Copies of this chain bind each other. A is one copy, B any other.
Amino acid sequence: MTARRRQIEDVASALFGERGYAATSMRDIARALDLQGGSLYAHVPSKEAVLWSIVDDAARRFHAAVGPIADGPGPAVERLRAMIHAHVGVLAESLERASVYLFEWTFLAPERREQVARSRAAYQARFERVIAEGGAAGELAGADAKLAAIFVLSALNGLPRWYRPDGPLPPAAVAEQFADMVLRGLASRVPDETAPGARLPVGSGG
């Protein structure tokens, strides 16, 4: 990717995140880059092509960071912890691009939207599979792995809405605390059957 192309996508990510994809025009993007509207088309064919490039690039980065860990060796709980770190790492690399990937991808044209939907499902399935493996190995409670994967990814994906890179918490610290909550939340052993916090209603977690 050329430097100019990257710059266009950075500016577009900021605008899409701020106003939404639909409310951002090619003219807005050109203006933010100090370009004439027409000359932007020398670099990118359409607004949707810019969205696609941002989303496709982000999807690849998430899969590239998390896939080898999910498919690698080691206990499921350790892989899950590392996957949470990797996921937060990709989010934090560019919160604006991640935000477009997470929340604006539905504005893609149908064929590309379908492709992204499949990629996202496959990504969620990586978490689901590792959680299920942890359950099968007795490392994690046999929680509904699909619901647990949704729970974990939803919790992590809130990050672009609240995280401030100039704040006191580095991304790795957020990832570590979230991983602790997730892994304890999915732990195979109930802490103390008599403690109120450990009370499990009939039929849950099983």
Contacts of A4 in B (CB 8 A): none
Q: Is the CB of A196 within 8 A of B75?
A: yes
Task: From A17-25, A42-50, A60-68, A108-116, give the one contacting chain B.
Answer: A17-25
Classify the secondary structure of A's interface with B: helix
A144-B177 CB under 8 A given contacts A23-B20, A154-B157: yes
Task: With both chains docked as a complex, state the minimum distance between the C-beta of A44 and any C-beta of chain B, in angstroms.
Answer: 20
Contacts of A174 in B (CB 8 A): 147
Q: Is the CB of B150 within 8 A of A158?
A: yes
Q: A152-206: which have CB < 8 Å to B?
A: 152-159, 161-162, 169, 174, 176-178, 180-192, 195-201, 204-205
A181-B75 CB under 8 A given contacts A187-B198, A188-B197, A195-B187: no
Closest to A156 in B: B154
Q: Is the CB of A180 within 8 A of B151?
A: no
Query: By CB atoms of chain B within 10 A, which of A139, A155, A181 has the most?
Result: A181
Q: Is the CB of A148 within 8 A of B181?
A: yes
Contacts of A41 in B (CB 8 A): none
Task: With both chains docked as a complex, state the minimum distance between the C-beta of A84 and any C-beta of chain B, in angstroms.
Answer: 11
Contact of A78 with B by CB under 8 A: yes
A78-B196 CB under 8 A given contacts A20-B21, A153-B158, A154-B154: yes
25 CB-based A-B contacts, threshold 8 Å: A20-B20, A20-B21, A20-B107, A22-B23, A75-B196, A103-B103, A139-B196, A140-B197, A150-B158, A151-B177, A151-B178, A154-B154, A154-B157, A177-B204, A180-B204, A180-B205, A181-B182, A183-B185, A184-B190, A185-B186, A187-B191, A187-B198, A188-B195, A188-B197, A189-B195
Interface positions of A (Cβ within 8 A of B): 19-23, 75, 77-78, 103, 107, 134, 139-141, 143-144, 147-148, 150-159, 161-162, 169, 174, 176-178, 180-192, 195-201, 204-205
5 closest pairs, A vs B, by CB?
Answer: A154-B158, A22-B23, A185-B185, A189-B191, A181-B185
